[in-house]
């Protein structure tokens, strides 16, 4: 090992080793600081979208914006049906029913909602960046069309070096975390709530890793709505958003995931009428949420199952694929 | 700006070096120096440009003109004006609040303490310039160009916390044409020094602070601190201070080396010392040299008999303590070291007379324990906190750990401190590793004796990288000596 170098090689090797050291040090610290994140949700398809830890927190905004997870960008581009919105869309459409339905008709889909309440501003930036043009766009429009950006959404769009560096380290950390917890499970307390996300179809795996299944019955219509001014702003932003997407408005489906707080259905109905889009509001009784806002897993299965079946005519119209006919069309209201 | 910040490492330093060597390559020596001055002032004024730049430029201009006049006319009055001017500036910014508070405590008059922020590095550049004035008076300084003088004071590697260098060892280096040429060996060696210093600061000192700080804070809050916690806090702080300040000094030496300059050494494994006299030859060596040459010797040194020598030692150490900070706890720290040095000299005399000799291990242990106990007032926020900690160290608060750390945390702290103490005691220090000359020959470009190897490139590179990764992910922490 005691070989002598010329100064030129010495400096070059120093710089190379420094770069390696920075990487090792950063991933090492990230691992030590985030060993408490759950590791049981990793597989070849799922990545750690979020962990309730100050050093990790959100990863999905950056990962999807910069295509850091294997083939995630291709999967979004390939998706003929996109679901967009905030965490409510993730809760509502991360279900086996949705996956089984689209698999059965062989149409690729992607659930492209985001946590931290991000809505159209971030989605629009993402769709524009990757030139994504789905054939059908499902929007959880309560009201969705907004100029607001969450901190992780803003960070991802700004793409400052420090953010990009942390993103890279989070990406590498997951490989180390998965391996460490596989080999030495004793050092992984698995205590911090975490959300895993499928790189194939964007669905969240969160009941279990993030929260337990709870049941808060939606037993009366939600009272809260948005003001007329907010609705007018959303309509204006909605026009711009849809113009930019350039999709036939009949292939844009507005909906409102049921909850106990916001009159999502009322808002989406008004927006669908003014934006001249389709809309679907499955009528399902006895739905429950986890927390008054997000549908719980059992309700999401029932509600989203109804929803996708109600999409048959729209898919037939917008996608040239054989879409089987299903029963249960109740609750469809297509705005012309 | 901090050496251990991403903006310094990734932006400031590469830009400064690139432009400096570009100008050197174009043989624009003066422009290169002006560039270094501009960069140094930019570095100094980073946090508070108007106030800090005004202050340092005033100080440089004042001392430059007084120095020039002293070179022409070695007048004692002029020297007195010069020194008083410097001390007044230092006194206003550093000691006004302390003096008024003391006056208020002693007389009972309620005096409002002025709210004056201590300008960073003022103690260091003031001492550097006082030395210059004294040398100009003694006829030991030459007349220098204004730019050379400005760079001598503001040279960014040393500006904030030393090493306190002497004009004789630096000024000639600004005139050596060779130093303006890019040498890959200087860059490589400088990077290695910088890497080791950064690792000491970020990977050692900042980690040790996590163990020492909560326990000292608990003592300051009047909470009981057990014997074990107390020793963990004190030994942790002793090592933290060493790795922090010697790390800073290594980084300063490394930065200067990259530009082709050599700065004097500041540390030489102080905790290996076998006597207090030896300790002060190894700890903050450039301050010890300054205090010896510009305070102790002018006071009479050892030329006026043993009693006067002891008084001179005490005065020197008291003022040395006060230099570190405007608080009585620093005066106490200086007094403890002053008394310790007096006892050490007296013992040496007795030992010589009776041919006595302490075993090396005992001498080392006594010295280390004495130095650690003396760090207590240096670190403590108040007398009462210092006394609480001393009592804890002597077991007055029991053996059981206090509430600040769990048993597991204490065990981790003890392991970490033991490991880093072993490094301080048994490993070679940076200059031994990197073959740095003990004496700087300023008029010559000294060849690099360090032999670059694969092992060193990898070790220093990885250490640097890991330390930088800590800087990127966490907020860089200030060096302890910045507050002095």
Q: Strands A216-217 and A252-255, how do they pair?
A: unpaired
Element (H, E) at B7: helix B6-7
**Residue B80, number of CB atoms within 10 A of its CB:** 12
First-to-final CA distance of chain A: 77
What pLDDT sits at residue A333?
Answer: 39
**Cβ-contact B157, B256 below 8 angstroms:** yes
Chain B positions in Cβ-Cβ contact with residue A6 (cut-off 8 Å): 452
Residue among A20, A55, A162 whose CB faces B465 most closely: A20
Which residues in chain B have Cβ-Cβ distances shorter than 8 Å to A18? Answer: 195, 461-462, 464-465, 468
B191 to chain A, minimum CA–CA distance in Å?
A: 8
Q: Report the residue of B13, B469, B470 to disrupt the A interface, i.e. the one with the largest count of A CBs within 10 Å.
A: B469
* Residue predicted with more confidence, B304 or B464: B464
Lowest mean pLDDT among A5-9, A268-272, B435-439: B435-439
For B237-255, what is each residue's pLDDT tens digit?
A: 999 999 999 999 999 999 9
Q: Which residue has the higher pLDDT, A210 or A70?
A: A210
Q: What is the pLDDT of residues B344-378, one digit of tens each?
A: 999 999 988 888 888 999 999 999 999 999 999 99
- Contact assignment for B465 to A21 by CB distance below 8 Å: yes
Give the 3-state DSSP-derived string for B232-270, with helices as H, strands as E and coil as C: HHHHHHHHHHHHHHHHHHHHHHHHHHHCCCCCCCCCCCH
Are B63 and B136 a contacting pair, CB within 8 Å? no
The shortest CB-CB distance from B458 to any of A13, A22, A162 is to A13
**Binding-face residues of A in 165-224 toward B, CB within 8 A:** 165-166, 169
The residues with which A254 forms a beta bridge, in sequence order, are A139, A279
C-alpha A152/C-alpha A58 separation (Å) is: 7
Q: What is the pTM assigned to this prediction?
A: 0.80
Contacts of B460 in chain A (CB under 8 A): 14, 17
Q: Is the pLDDT of residue A331 over 80?
A: no
The model's confidence at residue A104, banded by pLDDT at 50, 70 and 90, is: very high
Cβ atoms of residues A260 and A282 within 8 Å: no
Rounded to the nearest 10°, the torsion over CA A207, A211, A217, A218 is -80
Q: Is residue B151 over pLDDT 50?
A: yes
Q: Provide the angle, in degrees to the nearest 10, between the axes of the packed helices B13-25 and B29-44.
A: 170
Q: Which of A167-171, A316-320, B191-195 comes out lowest in average pLDDT?
A: A316-320
The half-sphere exposure of A197 on its side-chain side, counting CA atoms within 13 A, is 28
Q: Give the closest-approach CA distance of A310 to chain B in angstroms.
A: 49
CB atoms A25 and B468 under 8 Å:
yes
> B451 phi and psi, to 5 degrees?
-100, 115
Return the number of other C-beta atoms located less than 10 Å from residue A159's C-beta: 12
Q: Is the pLDDT of residue B294 over 70?
A: yes
Does residue A17 sit at the B interface (CB-CB below 8 Å)?
yes
Tell me if A10 and B188 make a contact (CB, 8 A cut-off): yes
Would you call A15 and B195 a contact, using CB atoms and an 8 Å cutoff?
no
Residues of B labelled as active-site residues: 324
Smallest Cα distance from B187 to chain A, Å: 8
Size of interface A-B (CB pairs under 8 A): 105
Q: Average of pLDDT values for A127-139?
A: 92
Complete DSSP assignment for B51-109: HHHHHHHHHHHHHHHHHHHHHHS--HHHHHHHHHHHHHHHIIIIIHHHHHHHHHHHH--
In chain A, which residue's Cα lies nearest the Cα of B183? A7
Choose the closest CB to A25 out of B188, B454, B465.
B465
On the 0-12 / 13-18 / 19+ scale of CB atoms within 10 A, B272 is middle
Neighbouring CB atoms inside 10 A of B217's CB total: 14
Answer whether B465 sits within 8 Å of A23, measured CB to CB.
yes
CA-CA distance, A278 to A328, in Å (whole number)?
A: 18
Contact A1 B455 (CB under 8 A): yes
Task: Give the whole-angstrom CA distance, residue A288 versus residue A285.
Answer: 9
Residue count of chain A, please give it. Answer: 336
Q: What is the mean pLDDT of residues A167-190?
A: 91
Tens of pLDDT along A49-73? 999 987 889 999 999 999 888 789 9
Sort out which chain A residues have CB atoms less than 8 A from B457's CB and list them: 5, 9-11, 13-14, 17
Contact A26 B191 (CB under 8 A): no
Helices (H) and strands (E) in chain A, counts: 12, 11
| Dist. CA A221–CA B257, nearest whole Å | 74
Judge: A21–B470 Cβ closer than 8 Å, yes or no. no
Mean pLDDT over residues A258-269, rounded?
Answer: 90
Question: In chain B, which residue's Cα lies nearest the Cα of A56?
Answer: B473
Inter-chain CB proximity A21 and B464 less than 8 Å? yes
């Amino acid at each position: 090992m005691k070989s002598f170098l010329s100064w030129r090689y010495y400096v070059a090797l120093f710089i190379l080793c420094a770069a390696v050291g920075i990487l090792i040090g950063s991933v090492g610290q990230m691992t030590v600081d985030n060993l408490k994140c759950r590791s049981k949700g990793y597989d070849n398809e799922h990545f750690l979208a979020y962990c309730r830890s100050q050093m990790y927190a959100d990863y999905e905004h950056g990962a999807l914006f910069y295509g850091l997870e294997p083939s995630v960008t291709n999967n979004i581009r390939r998706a003929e049906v996109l679901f967009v919105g905030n965490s409510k869309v993730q809760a509502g459409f991360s279900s086996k029913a949705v996956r089984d339905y689209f698999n059965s008709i062989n149409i690729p889909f992607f659930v492209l909602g985001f946590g931290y309440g991000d809505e159209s501003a971030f989605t629009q930036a993402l769709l524009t960046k990757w030139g994504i043009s789905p054939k059908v766009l499902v929007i959880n429009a309560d009201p969705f069309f907004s100029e607001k950006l969450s901190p992780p959404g803003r960070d991802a769009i700004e793409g400052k070096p420090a953010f990009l560096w942390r993103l890279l380290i989070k990406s590498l950390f997951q490989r180390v975390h998965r391996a460490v917890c596989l080999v030495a499970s004793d050092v992984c307390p698995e205590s911090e709530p975490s959300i895993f996300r499928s790189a194939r179809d964007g669905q969240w795996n969160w009941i279990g890793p993030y929260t337990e299944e709870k049941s808060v019955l939606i037993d009366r219509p939600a009272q809260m709505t948005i003001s007329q001014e907010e609705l007018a702003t959303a309509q204006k932003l909605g026009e711009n958003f849809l113009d930019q997407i350039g999709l036939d408005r009949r292939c844009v489906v507005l909906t409102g995931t049921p909850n106990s707080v916001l009159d999502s259905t009322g808002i989406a109905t008004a927006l669908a009428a003014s934006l001249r889009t389709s809309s679907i509001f499955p009528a399902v009784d006895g739905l429950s949420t986890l927390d008054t806002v997000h549908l719980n897993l059992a309700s999401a299965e029932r509600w989203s199952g109804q929803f996708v079946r109600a999409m048959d005519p729209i898919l037939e119209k917008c996608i040239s694929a054989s879409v089987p006919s299903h029963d249960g069309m109740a609750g469809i209201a297509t705005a012309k | 700006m901090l050496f251990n910040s991403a903006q310094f490492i990734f932006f400031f330093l590469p830009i400064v070096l690139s432009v400096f060597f570009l100008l050197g390559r174009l043989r624009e020596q003066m422009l290169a120096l002006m560039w270094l001055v501009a960069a140094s002032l930019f570095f100094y004024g980073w946090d508070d440009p108007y106030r800090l730049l005004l202050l340092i430029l005033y100080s440089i201009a004042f001392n430059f003109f007084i120095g020039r006049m002293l070179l022409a006319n070695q007048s004692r009055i002029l020297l007195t004006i010069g020194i008083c001017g410097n001390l007044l500036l230092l006194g206003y910014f550093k000691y006004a609040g302390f003096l008024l508070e003391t006056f208020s405590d002693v007389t009972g008059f309620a005096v409002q303490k002025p709210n004056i922020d201590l300008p960073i590095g003022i103690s260091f550049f003031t001492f550097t310039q006082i030395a210059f004035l004294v040398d100009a008076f003694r006829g030991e300084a030459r007349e220098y160009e204004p730019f050379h003088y400005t760079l001598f004071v503001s040279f960014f590697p040393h500006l904030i916390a030393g090493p306190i260098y002497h004009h004789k060892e630096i000024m000639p280096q600004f005139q050596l044409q060779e130093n303006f040429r890019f040498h890959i060996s200087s860059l490589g060696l400088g990077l290695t020094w910088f890497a080791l210093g950064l690792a000491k600061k970020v990977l050692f000192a900042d980690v040790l602070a996590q163990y020492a700080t909560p326990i000292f804070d608990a003592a300051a809050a009047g909470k009981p601190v057990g014997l074990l916690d107390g020793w963990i806090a004190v030994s942790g702080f002793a090592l933290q201070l060493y790795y922090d300040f010697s790390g800073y000094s290594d980084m300063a030496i490394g930065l200067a080396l990259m530009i082709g300059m050599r700065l004097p050494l500041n540390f030489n494994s102080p905790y290996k010392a076998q006597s207090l006299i030896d300790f002060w030859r190894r700890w903050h060596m450039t301050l010890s040299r300054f205090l010896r040459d510009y305070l102790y010797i002018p006071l009479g040194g050892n030329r006026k008999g043993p009693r006067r020598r002891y008084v001179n030692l005490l005065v020197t150490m008291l003022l040395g303590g006060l230099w570190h900070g405007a608080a009585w706890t620093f005066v106490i720290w200086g007094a403890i070291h002053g008394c310790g040095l007096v006892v050490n000299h007296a013992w040496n005399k007795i030992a010589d007379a009776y041919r006595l000799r302490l075993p090396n291990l005992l001498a080392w242990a006594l010295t280390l324990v004495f130095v650690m106990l003396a760090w207590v007032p240096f670190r403590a926020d108040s007398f009462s906190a210092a006394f609480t900690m001393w009592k804890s160290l002597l077991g007055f608060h029991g053996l059981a750990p206090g509430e600040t750390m769990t048993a597991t945390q204490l065990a981790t702290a003890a392991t970490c401190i033991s490991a880093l103490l072993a490094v301080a005691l048994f490993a070679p220090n940076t200059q031994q590793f990197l073959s740095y000359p003990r004496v700087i020959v300023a008029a010559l470009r000294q060849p690099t004796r360090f032999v670059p190897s694969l092992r060193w490139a990898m070790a220093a590179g990885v250490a640097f990288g890991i330390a930088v990764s800590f800087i990127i992910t966490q907020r860089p922490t200030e060096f302890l000596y910045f507050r002095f």
